[in-house]
Structure 1
Amino acid sequence: MTEPISGFSKLTKEEKIDWVTSNYTQNKEQSIKILQTYWNQNSNIQQLHDEFIENTLTNLYLPLGIAPNFLINNKLFAIPMAIEESSVIAAASKAAKFWLNRGGFKTEVLGTEKVGQVHFLFKGNFEKLSSFFTYLKPKLLAESTSLTTSMEKRGGGISDIVLKNKTAELKNYYQLHATFQTKDAMGANFINSCLEQFATTLKKETAAYDGFSDEEKNVEVIMSILSNYVPNCTVRAQVSCPVEELQLSADISPQHTAEKIIQAIKIAQIEPYRAVTHNKGIMNGIDAVVLATGNDFRAVEAGIHAYACRNGQYSSLTHAEIENGIFTFWIELPLALGTVGGLTNLHPLVKLNLEILQNPSAEELMQIIAVAGLAQNFAAVSSLVTTGIQKGHMKMHLLNILNQLGASDLEKGKLVTHFRTNIVTHHEVELQLNALRK
């Protein structure tokens, strides 16, 4: 039985690998070889990767691809996407090409406000606390000036601070609910620093306030932290065309195709089981660009999924309609992103990907990423209501299946040709490979 280890973080990378492979793998030499295979040959780059996180052993690579031909507000983009799932980039590219000659994607940033909160307990009268907050607010702003000066020079800063009474939900629970503008930075460190200063000022001023009893002066700060739910940091992207141009299948009329897409969206709006998979497809596009640009996909995911159930039920992020013969398909979602700070200044591939995107501002990146999600959803839903999802997806998955089965390059070439006109399933690929080998 493996014993607990003390001081693991102080070991060298080689010592960490030796310990892990000795205690947790069946073939130590083979495991070490696999880990070392994924080291970057450039020692400076590898050191950079090693220092991104703690206890680094190696790198886990994701393929980085390009989805070209995205016309966004009359400007052409090639969008970098980092993802392991087959067919995602192909689907996004197909959607981009379809809309390229139909006016492309139109986008609009609806807001850029971010949120942070100081959560605290106060055992006293709310009216007294409310009066105290009127006195406190200017001090909160004044005592955080050293933190906000640089951000204010860039056009950002603290937008507002309000006192929220949450005692109906939890006894003695209140918030300092603050809103921020962080310009091209995602702003997590800036926001959290401001919040911690608010907490310090709150405790100090509460303890000295003559209008409070001794018990009321004993305010307890539970935590100070930004929120990844940013319903006022949102972006809208849409496409539209005359219904007669929506010829996606030889077997279904454009009018029927448009109607089926609208019904598919309505189903995702009222049926959570469908909505989750529907929105997961949107996130295929969004996460891939978020990762490629060095942003936090976990924060983006959490905020978007919270937004999807803001009306009390988890629902579709996309919408569709026909009005006066025009089919319109759109998405509206929150995106808190940065194009400066963090990995954007450190990771060479992230910097290159941002250059490929023509060095966007945070607002421009919001629009690009919303478009990637919309394109992905259009491709998925249009396939679902016409040919079905598996026909295209499995063709893109063919090489993965062949690699799993150990096919040679010659065998891959022959079977790729065979399956251009045949349905791909794992069983059928296996049968054809065995027949070829015989």
Structure 2
Amino acid sequence: MALFSENFQWPSSSVVFESIGDGARDGTAKVVERGGRWILKSPSSFSYATGQPGIRVLTASLDGTPTLIRGTVFAIDGDLGLRVDELRVGSALDDAQYTTVTATFEHLASVSSCRHEDGAARSPGQPLVFPASGGASQMEATLRSGENSITLVVPEPVPLEDFETQLAVFQAMLTFAADLPCGQLTLVATDRSGQTVNIFGRDKYAPFERPTRKPVEYTLRFAGDWIQHTIERWWVAYSEWKPVLQILAGLRYQPGYVDADVILSSAAIESVATELQQHEAPRLSSHESRPILEALESLTGLNHAQKEAVAQLKGDLGRTTFRSKVVQLIRHVDDEVWQQARASIEEWTKQFLKARNTIAHAVSSDIWENGVLLRGIRDANWIVLTLVILKYLDVPDPAIGRAAERLGTRHGVRYRGIEIFT
């Protein structure tokens, strides 16, 4: 969805509507604001039965413009109304299909700027290709130089939801690139008849209106001639690494308590480590495991629970540990890059594993009171995830090095008393 629907300027305080589908009767509704959301208050027009979906679809003419209204049944003042979730102003067709959409995002123009460490720049007018994703077909994307807009085009008309699927993948990438929340601000579509339709809806995250950073401070920019390959790698990761990249976006949009952020970023690290894991030898070689296995085999008279415990111990001998996954993950990034990020990987590994296990298992420990250490681990986790993902995306080494320097400068200076940062 493009824009929070409460920002839509209603032409009047009431709406005459017709219902599409079940669960609503034609009628007139009063437009009411509640808690930052618009509600259509119409006594007896909306019903809700157990097992029936709460979504209702209406058509209306707003100031002479055909409009589709989609919303959710909502209790208001002792009656049922409709909470508006989406408006399509310019078309009243529920099954309309579209050929192009243009969306604007916070910080897009700045992230599309070029820096010398990005290497050769791509032509500003050169279209990019967004691979097929989540059931949505491949689309051609054009970034407008100096603007916060992006236009997606398809050769054959598709439902609006296909464009929204592709824009969600792009928004997650833009958020990662800017290292800032990047809210979607507008969405304008062209249907198969050439009609322009303005979509107002519920973005997953609200626009944040953060000040734009200087381009040198961004993690990734879209101006290098290598960006098409990076896009293809991101689209693959978005599909195959779920929900890692969504977790990253969430950590930027809605940071929680520091210990919650530590465990959430830890889950992302474990998932990435598992995805990138190559063959890793077990903790013990077969020669080292033999005497332990023989001792376990010699046990007799075991009950069912004890036999299960023995089987688990045997499996653990050949299991790849979380520690080994983390160590292997670190190897994906060159040592000099960690140095540029001012990160002591050896110390981070020790502190990270301790904190992760303590929080995950709710162990009584003084780490719960050590807020500075927890914040340091959280920020170091972000650095590790960022640099590993940049490496996976095949971003050129100079650009990765500059991102490492920026991350080290931004986070390292806050934790001079913590050995994680040098």
Q: Which has the higher contact order (CA 8 A, sep 6+)?
A: 1
Q: Could you say which TM-score interval applies, normalised by the shorter chain?
A: under 0.3
Identify, as 1 or 2, the structure richer in strand.
2
Identify, as 1 or 2, the structure richer in helix.
1
TM-score normalised to structure 2 length: 0.26
TM-score normalised to structure 1 length: 0.25
